Amino acid sequence: MKSIYLVIVLLLLSTLSSLACAQQKRIRMATTTSTDNTGLLKAILPIFEEKTGYAVQVIAVGTGKALKMGREGDVDVVLVHARTAEEEFVSEGFGTDRHDVMYNEFVLIGPDSDPAGIRKAQSAIEALSQIADKKANFVSRGDDSGTHKKEQELWGSAELIPQGKWYMEAGQGMGKIIQIATELDAYTVTDSGTWLTFKEKSSLKQLYSGDKILFNPYGMIAVNPKLHADANHTGASALIKWITSEDGQTLIGDFRFHGEQLFAPNAGNLITQLTINGKTPQSKK
């Protein structure tokens, strides 16, 4: 009988050890929907996993929710695009260090008829002001995502509070917002990467881009293990080190959709120019 108990105990210990080992090799990453919708992570993460033995669990949500998951210790690392919110996350002690990873730009899309005339706008602020002045249909993410935060920043810079039947907050991811805006013949703000992967499914057109205020940097932050002891800081650090290395940055820069570059790497000194539709956005680090 004692031998049976001993076997059971050994089996339990072996199972617990295997589970612990599996958890050590799992990296939970919360990220914005744009990195998922574009297919970037599906293209590059398997290479990291094969090289290191780690398994990356990707949770694609808006930036606001991703940072909240980091604050609550539900993930090990975040890859997001709202610089001010990222810096607050670190300064408040929830993350260790922020690392530049890549960038693209935000663009304004809308119906080809362009009822607000934003094609001729001299700035992104002027474009939004014209949309508000004409009360042209506009669909907002309304979900505290990085794109929503940028949109709110733009309205604030225009000294406008969008409201009324023309302004709709959908609380959806970027792909769904483009679909809704298409159905309503409305304007919206999107990151250029997601737009490039969805534009063939939409009747909308890219109407305004190129303003420096539309620069869209992505940063990566490991969750602070001093606040969350169960955070896989070793795995998170390994992922950050790889994605900001020459190998990871090259993969990001080489990633294309129908020949179009979606993101430009900008970790450390490995900064490259982003070319979209044959043009280089007016970006800054």
Q: What are the extents of the domains in the chain?
A: 2-104+216-265, 105-214
Give me the phi and psi of 242, to 5 degrees please: -70, -45
What is the CATH number assigned to the segment(s) 105-214? 3.40.190.10
**pLDDT confidence of residue 122:** 97
Q: Is 105-214 the same fold as 2-104+216-265?
A: yes
- pTM score of the predicted model: 0.86
Torsion angle of alpha carbons 235, 192, 135, 164, nearest 10°?
-10
Tens digit of pLDDT at every position of the chain (285 positions): 556 655 454 455 444 444 444 457 999 999 999 999 999 999 999 999 999 999 999 999 999 999 999 999 999 999 999 999 999 999 999 999 999 999 999 999 999 999 999 999 999 999 999 999 999 999 999 999 999 999 999 999 999 999 999 999 999 999 999 999 999 999 999 999 999 999 999 999 999 999 999 999 999 999 999 999 999 999 999 999 999 999 999 999 999 999 999 999 999 755 455 554 445 555 443
Instruction: For the chain, count helices (H), then strands (E).
Output: 11, 12
Domain 2-104+216-265 in CATH 3.40.190.10? The answer is: yes
What local confidence, expressed as pLDDT, does residue 268 receive?
79
Residue 223's DSSP bridge partners are 95
What pLDDT is attached to residue 7? 47
What pLDDT does residue 16 have?
Answer: 41
